[in-house]
Amino acid sequence: MSLIYDEMELEEFESVPDEDPQRMIYNAYRDRALLGYVATTFVAEVDGRVVGMAFGYPDNNETAVNRVYQEAAAPIPSIRDVDFFADPESFANEFYLDSLAVDADYRGMGIATALIDAIIKHAAALEYETIGLNVDVANPKAERLYRRLGFDDAGQIMIGDHWYRHLQRSTFQVLSTE
């Protein structure tokens, strides 16, 4: 997850020691809320090593998820007062794929597709008809993956100081990997 924060180039983290966002993430994942009842995390493992993860939640849980992260940041002086969740990310009536990351050594092996498939099936099981995500307009490779998997434009939003395309797809459509 810290890779994702690095790629977002959040202004709030510019003067923060590199290990502090990682500590916040570690603290947040010690809270059971992120492991099941307000959000869901899927991991991909190869030979017992985590090589990918997908993290998402129902749109109406975004505030609760952000609260877990704010509480996880509270004991870390460099970020305790930073409001890096000021911008809403999810759209109404969707299951929101907040984060997807795959270790660089394992990209191109279908891991991202498998993780997306797992989170789509989870959203469908929760009776969400739509899954949404944001992709940085400066990340065409990721956008191509999402579009290949059936995601379409639903709008643009600014998160921090970056523009993102908000993409959505039906949870009931068969996942196409072609």
pLDDT of residue 25: 86
Residue 176 has pLDDT above 80, yes or no: no
pLDDT of residue 11: 58
The larger pLDDT score, comparing residue 164 to residue 21, is at 164
C-alpha span between 98 and 103 (Å, rounded): 17
C-beta of residue 44 within 8 angstroms of C-beta of residue 109: no
Confidence of residue 125 (pLDDT cuts 50, 70, 90): very high
Write down the H helix ranges in the chain. 2-8, 19-29, 62-73, 111-125, 140-148
As a whole number, the mean pLDDT across the chain is: 87
Domain extent listing, the chain: 2-133
Coil, strand or helix at 7: helix
Instruction: Note the pTM of the prediction, 2 decimals.
Output: 0.86
- Token pair recorded at residue 16: 């923060």
Q: Which one is the CATH code of 2-133: 3.30.1490.190, 3.40.630.30, 3.30.1360.200, 3.30.2420.10?
A: 3.40.630.30
Q: What is the pLDDT of residues 92-102, one digit of tens each?
A: 999 999 999 99
Instruction: Calculate mean pLDDT across residues 99-106.
Output: 94
Min mean pLDDT across 51-55, 68-72, 112-116 is at 68-72
Terminal-residue alpha carbon distance, the chain:
27
Residue 158 has pLDDT above 90, yes or no: yes
C-alpha span between 110 and 143 (Å, rounded): 15
Min mean pLDDT across 16-20, 134-138, 163-167 is at 16-20
C-alpha span between 22 and 131 (Å, rounded): 27
Coil, strand or helix at 58: strand
Residue 152 has pLDDT above 90, yes or no: yes
What residues are paired with 46 via a beta bridge? 49
Angle among Cα 124, 1, 71 to the nearest 5 degrees reads: 90
C-beta of residue 152 within 8 angstroms of C-beta of residue 173: no
pLDDT of residue 13: 56
Residue 35 has pLDDT above 80, yes or no: no
Residue 17 has pLDDT above 80, yes or no: no
